[in-house]
Structure formats: C-alpha cells, structure tokens
Structure 1
Amino acid sequence: MSPTVLPNHQAAVLYGPKDLRVDDRTLWPPQHGQAQVAIVATGLCGSDLHYYLHGRNGDFALQAPLVLGHEAAGIVTAVGPGVKNLVPGQRVAVEAWCRYNLCKNLRFASSAKTFPHLDGTLQERMNHPAHVLHPLPDNVSFEEGALAEPLSVLLHASRRAALSPGQTVLVYGVGTIGLLACALAKSYGSSRVVAVDINQARLAFAKSHGFADDVFCLPATPRAKSPEDQLRKAKENADLLLEVFGEENGFDVVFECTGAEPCIQMAIHTAITGGRVMLIGMGTRSTSLPLSAAALREVDIQGSFRYANTYPDALDLLASRKLQNLDKLVTHHFDLSDTAHAFDLLTRGVDEQGDMVLKIMIGSGTPPSHR
C-alpha cells in the first residue's frame, strides 16, 4: 500500500555538539519488510543528551548528521511488500533495533556506533522493519508505549540479575532508568526497595510517589586525591548507607544506574554476600574496582547492554497497570520544532519555574485524537 505523499516531512537532525536543526526530508515509500510510522511520541534519554552536548556518546562519535531518538510510539501509515502483521492505522511501539544487542553487525536507531548511521525517531514519519514494530495494547497510550524502551532496559537487566520475589533491592540513581528499576523491582515482589542519589528533589519524588520505600541523599565529599583515596571513601559511604538503611548484611540485588565510578565502587560493598551488582549506567569508561571485596564475598558483577526479546513483556506489563505512577515520570512535552529547547531543558534539569525535569516527550504534530 502506498504512503500518503509527504514531500517535505520534518526531522530534528544533529550536525554537531548543540547544533540541532529541524530539516525537511523526502519521505520514501517503505521497502520490503518495512512499515511506515507516523511518530506520535519520542522520549529523550541520556544517550540522546550526550550526543546533543558532545557530538558523541562514549566511543561513538558523529560522522554525519544524525536523527536522534529511540524511545517511541506511533501509528502505521503504510506497509511495504511482504508485511502481513501490520495494517495502516495500527498503533505501535517502535523497537529501535535492526539487529539484536550483542550482534557484531548491530544497528541501533539514533546511535553513531555504525556508519552509515541509522536515523532515530525524532521525525514526523519513518520507515522501520515491521518485525520490530509492536502493537500497543488498547489501554496503553503512545507516551506509555515510548516508555517500553527504557522499561525494556530494566527487564533485560532484571532477567540477568535473576530478580525474584522477596529480595531486597538497592538502586543507585533516580533518573528515569533508576525510577523504572524501583518500579519493576516492586512489581516483581521485592521485599524492600531503596534508592540513593545526590539529588534531594529526585529522591523526594521517588519516595512520595511510591517508587522507593526509603531513600538517602549522599553527602557531598571533596574530590578524591588518588584512586586509593576514592576506594576508601567508597567503602566509608557504603558502610554509611548500610547503617542508614538498617541492612547490615547488604542488599540481594543492586542496580547501578548512574555510571559514576564512586557509585559502582559502593555498589560492590553494599551487595550482600553472594549478591549481584547489575551495571546499567553508562558513564565512566575506566573504573578502579574493589575486586577483592567482590571475590571474597562472591558478589557477582554483571553488565547489561540495552535489551533483547523484551518488548512484548514490557507492553504486557504496561497494560497490566502493575507499575504505579508511571505517568508521573513524563514531566514535560514539546513539539518536534522545539527539540533543541527540550534538550537544553534536559541539560539544566529544572525548568523556568524551578520544577524538576525527568522524562521529556517530543510530539510530531499528530492530531490530539490519536494521542
């Protein structure tokens, strides 16, 4: 079926650090195995922000203009030859893969890891492989469908950590990923979920909206003079956390969602003997670790990279309403034309009224009746 002719559909294109332009682009018909999707909602995340601020995310640097965005949902507007599982008008969540997470030939929308880059979802319409477009349950909104992507990150991590009912869980960092880690742990039946951050406002949000049972704001400390000094301070802070939370033996599962070296170090000390530390945050490229402490207590340190085979479960979980107050995560909304302003707001962390910024959703002008 041929798509509606849109000779000039718009896309928010990053050309370099803080050089984001809304360009007109030609809309091509979907190829074999593809569907065309009108993007209704895209959530901005930390990796998008790194690209916006620095023109790179870790080792992945821009080599050409790139459309950011990979947390998205929309409406199928056309399907290419061979597509049998989707029809125009269908509401879908967009899984941003071309191939899966540990594949050598991985291509991920909005990532500069491969070249040519694969454009993301900050555009009015896009063609995408149909097999990674997932129908939205009737009671799941487009913005909730966009949250299926970060939720998938936590589902994948929870599977690797063998998260199970009755366990105690500690979460470092209460941005969107950390808050979703808390919510997911509660949905799994964890006996206690606590969170740590350096941002008191975010911790208050996590506690007041029921994401965490208890929270603690880490005190500011002078910059460590050496790696040994840093490891010593991490152990001292870890001991303080266990004392404050009344968990002398540590936590069964620790989700590290900051990527900050001190938190990674503390995570090892705050896990119970035989416990698991799940590394989710992507930040520090090289880290000094207290490996002897991990080895002597058989603390497993596990990495988790994005997700695989999680979207159906993520959407089912969203439809079940077992995750409380997810609507509170989306604090701000912008049109596609205001994407640069949205990134600047995300950088500051608070808006002009002093209100906290968590998840920003970008809309592409789809009529409100479809939202």
Structure 2
Amino acid sequence: MIGYVLQADGSFEYRQVEQQTPSGDVVRVAPVFVGLCGSDIHFQEQLLPGVEHPLALGHEIVGIALDGEHAGRPVAVDPVEGCGSCEVCRAGLEQLCASLVVIGAHRHGGLTEEVGVRAHAVHPLPDDLPLQVAALAEVLAVAVRAVRRAALPEGGTALVVGGGPIGVLIAFAARALAGADVTVVETAERRRRFAAEFGFRAVDRLPGIGDVAQQSSQSLHDAVFDAAGAESVAPRLTDHVRSGGSIVLVALYPDVTGLNVRDVVMRELNVVGTRACTAEDMRTAIELLNAHQQELAPLVADVVEPAGMAEALERMKRGEIMKVLVDCRGISAGHL
C-alpha cells in the first residue's frame, strides 16, 4: 500500500510500504484524519529511541472501520499495543508494557491507506461528532489520564506548564473532570492568547518564588502539570505546588533532568509520571468531545494535505499554531 513516509533526513515522500499487522483479532481502519503532535517533531528530529526510519507517522487516528463489529462506522484508534499477557496488560495498562508497540512510532501509522488495529483498541464514535473534532480523541485521552493521575480534589487549583495542545487539553480536562481553577504558563504569545480565550488564566512565565513557606496558599496549587519538558522548568516545579500536592510529569525530557528531591521529601509531594492512556481514558475523552464539541473545535487550527506536513511541523515548533490535522484521504492518489 501507499504511505506518506518520514525519511531519516527528516523529509517526507510517498512510497510503497508494508503495513505490519498485530496478532489477534484485528480490524482494518481507513484513516480520514491524523493529528500531528510534539512526538512527531521528536520522531522527525530523531530525539526518541526505538524509532526507525522510514516511518509513516500518525498515532492520533480517526477513520472508518472497514470490517469487524463497527464496519462502516467512524472510529477513533488507541495506538498503544501491549503484549496482552503480562501483568500490566492484564491490569488494563497496556501503555506500560515492556514490549510496547505504538502505531505511528514503532510501526507505520495513519499516514497510509489503511492500518490494522486490535479490535479492542477501535472505539466507535457518536454519529453526530464531526471527525475533525473526534481527531482530538487520543490526545484528550492522554490529558484525561494525566488529570486522573493527579488525583485533583474537586474544585482544586492546577498549574499547567506548557500551553500547546496537550497543555490546553490538560487544563480543559482538569476543569471538566474536577471543576479545577486552572492557570496555564506559555511563552508563545499566540498559544497564550488561545489559552486565555479558552477561559484559563494565562501567564507568560513561572512566577519567581523564593521560600515556599512564605507564600500564601493562593499562590500554590493542588497539582502542577509539566507539559513543557523544558530544562529550566523541572527544578522549579516544586515551588508551585502546595504541601501534599501532586506534580505530574507529562512531557518527555531528552535526558536526565533535575528535580528538587529535598522539597519532595520535606513537603510530602506526590511526583507521578503519566504515559499515553487506557481504554477507559479513551471512552471518557470521546464522551467529553461529544459533550463539548463547540468548545473544543477551535483547538483544530488547520487541516493540511500530506504535502503540507513539513511546513505544519515547522509552525508547531515555533509555537505559531495549535493542533494540525492531516487529511489522509488523498494518500491513495499519492505518486510513487
């Protein structure tokens, strides 16, 4: 089949690909839209291990099921594939499997004519949910997972560092699931303005804080989410969370980074990681998308053909744009 493929030099081209098929009960899905995210930039720049080129990107997939229980219906895809038999897989935590395969990272993804997906990872979509909005399902599920890991109290406060699509969706999920009062920190003006239009308090930098013991309770938060992954951020995360609160590490750092471990110990802070999402998170995300279609639709800033991907990724790197979707329906007409 034909795919729009990332080469080792960072360029893209149409080429013939052999789509690997997982074991077990498999459903074929014809991708309609694929969402681009920061991970795709990392794949392009070869910053993440275990990713081999050439590779057809695309792990945020919505499309039409070609067979199986939901044949002919629009579906969202959970791109995570565990072994299915280890302890974490049996607990419903496939994203933590030691043999993890991610569609669009470890095998060809949605930028192909069709992709084989395990049946349990194919989630039917409501009939009245537009596919462009439904394309946010996987990334919103990641945000839902992060908020659940934080164990935010109802009506609590949250600080999200990084106002890209995942950061804004974490803020949205914190508000939708816990009624949280959310502040978003984002250096890029356009993204900061978008977060403010979304109804969040938006600031351009982390406030300067000295001794946490001298701060008022209003300046500290029940949970702090690191969706930036910037070296300058990690050492300051503990300055902004109340004693007994949570720090949730969402972004990937390219190397070992610093965290104020003494502060973690002395103030009994809960530091947790979060990776991808579970099936329950996907179902919750789809429910939220369906209930908040008009609110979430503006997050999709542009829809491009595959040939526009390289430029879209550059705009994302500069923080000029929020979520970009790739229309996959023309891939079959691509020229080899």
TM-score strictly above 0.5: yes
Q: Offset at 1:179? A: 0.3
Asked if residue 217 in structure 1 is aligned to residue 211 in structure 2, the reply is: no
| Structure 2 stretches lacking a partner, 5+ long | 83-93, 331-336
Distance 1:201-1:26 versus aligned 2 partners, 3 A rule:
closer
User: Hey, what's the Cα distance between the residues in 2 that align with 1:184 and 1:292?
Assistant: 30
TM-score, normalised on structure 1?
0.78
Structure 1: 5+ residue runs without aligned partners?
1-8, 112-116, 220-235, 350-355, 367-371
Secondary structure of 1:260 counterpart: coil
CA distance in 1, matches of 2:109, 2:13: 14
1:191 to 1:47, Cα distance in 2 relative to 1, 3 A = closer
Distance verdict in 2 for CA 1:282–1:159, change over 3 Å: same
Question: Identity over the aligned pairs, expressed in percent?
Answer: 29
- Pairing partner for 1:86 from 64, 70, 79: 70
SS in 1 for 2:144: helix
Alpha-carbon deviations, 1:2-53, whole Å to 9, x = none? xxxxxxx43111121322112244789998622221111100000111111x
Residue in structure 1 matched with residue 100 of structure 2 by the alignment: 106
- Alignment of 1:75 onto 2:69: no
Asked if residue 178 in structure 1 is aligned to residue 167 in structure 2, the reply is yes
Q: Where does 1:105-144 land on structure 2 (aligned, <5 Å)?
A: 105-111=99-105, 117-144=106-133
Q: Which moved more, 1:138-147 or 1:289-298?
A: 138-147
Note closer, same or farther for the CA distance 1:183–1:25 as it changes in structure 2 (3 Å cut). Answer: same
Mapped contact 1:163–1:188 kept (Cα < 8 A): no
Superposed counterparts of 1:220-235, under 5 Å: none
| Structure with bigger gyration radius | 1
Conserved in 2, the CA contact under 8 Å of 1:177 and 1:257? yes
| C-alpha distance after superposition, 1:264-288 (max 9, x if no partner) | 2222110001100000011242112
Partner of 1:222: none
Q: Deviations over 1:63-96 (max 9, x none)?
A: x41111101100122x2xxx4x222x11100111
Deviation string for 1:140-170 (max 9, x for gaps)? 2212222111111111111111123211111
Match of 2:5 among 8, 13, 20: 13
Structure 2 residue 309 is the aligned partner of structure 1 residue 325: no
Give 1:57's aligned amino acid.
L
Q: Provide the secondary structure at the position in 2 that maps to 1:237.
A: coil
| CA–CA distance in structure 1, aligned partners of residues 219 and 196 of structure 2 | 23
Judge conservation of contact 2:237–2:259 (CA < 8 Å) in 1: no
Give structure 1 regions of 4+ aligned residues with deviation exceeding 4 angstroms: 25-32, 239-243, 245-249
Counterpart for residue 229 of structure 2: 259
1:314 counterpart (271, 275, 285): 285
- Structure 1 residues 348, 193: CA separation in 2 closer, same or farther (over 3 Å shift)? closer
- Identify which of structures 1 and 2 has the higher relative contact order when contacts are C-alpha pairs closer than 8 Å and 6+ apart: 2
For residue 17 of structure 1, what is the amino acid of its counterpart? D
Deviation at 1:299, TM superposition (A): 1.1
Q: How does 1:1-371 map to 2 (within 5 A)?
A: 9-25=1-17, 33-52=25-44, 54=45, 56-62=46-52, 64-77=53-66, 79=67, 83=68, 85-87=69-71, 89-99=72-82, 100-111=94-105, 117-210=106-199, 212=200, 214-218=201-205, 237-239=208-210, 247-248=217-218, 250-309=220-279, 310-321=281-292, 325-349=295-319, 356-365=320-329
TM-score by length of 2: 0.86
Length, aligned pairs only: 319
> Do the aligned partners of 1:94 and 1:146 also contact (CA within 8 Å) in 2?
no
Aligned-residue CA RMSD (Å): 2.8
2:110 and 2:244 mapped to 1: Cα distance? 41
* Aligned-partner SS, 1:93: strand
Aligned to 2:85: none
User: Structure 1, residues 271-329: CA drift from partner, whole Å, max 9, x if none?
Assistant: 001100000011242112211112111111111111122211111121122x7621111
Give the C-alpha shift of residue 61 in structure 1.
4.1
* Paired residue secondary structure (2:97): coil
- Contact kept, 8 Å, 1:97 with 1:109, in 2: the verdict is yes
Residues 76, 18 of structure 1: alpha-carbon distance in 2 compared, 3 angstrom cutoff: same
Q: Write the letter of the residue equivalent to 1:192.
A: D
SS in structure 1 of the partner of residue 95 of structure 2: coil
